[in-house]
Each structure stands twice: as C-alpha cells, then as structure tokens.
Amino acid sequence: MTREELQNQLKQLIKGDIDTMAIEKKDFMTFREIWINHEEKESIIGEALHNGDVIYRYRSNGK
C-alpha cells in the first residue's frame, strides 16, 4: 500500500467506516511512521498476528 492509501484507511478506521485495518508486514514501517505521529495514536490499538501482520482497531475514549 502507498502512504496515502494507509492514511486514508486510517481515517476510515477513526471515523468508524471500517472496524479493523489489516497491515501486512511489508507495509508495517510506513504505517508505523504514520501512527507514531498521529494525534490519536493512543486509541489506535494493534494486535500482532503471525508472519508480521497486524490488525488495528480504533477505541475511542468513550468505549
């Protein structure tokens, strides 16, 4: 995925348009850079899977 695609998918996750966001190992470092600089990073929770893939979910402060 491109950086722009990852950013758009993250926006959809935060807005609630999607429930989860799957990041493949090959895209992890690009996504990590986006995540680490995001103002809501504490609410973007990752669950590590096998082979380096990660599933992210958004948890708002109210949940």
> pLDDT tens across 1-60, in order?
999 999 999 999 999 999 999 999 999 999 999 999 999 999 999 999 999 999 999 998
pLDDT at 62 over 90: no
pLDDT at 61 over 80: no
Domain boundaries, the chain: 3-58
In what side-by-side order are the strands of the sheet with 44-48? 20-23, 54-58, 44-48
Longest alpha-carbon distance in the chain? 33
**Residue keyed to tokens 């807005």:** 15
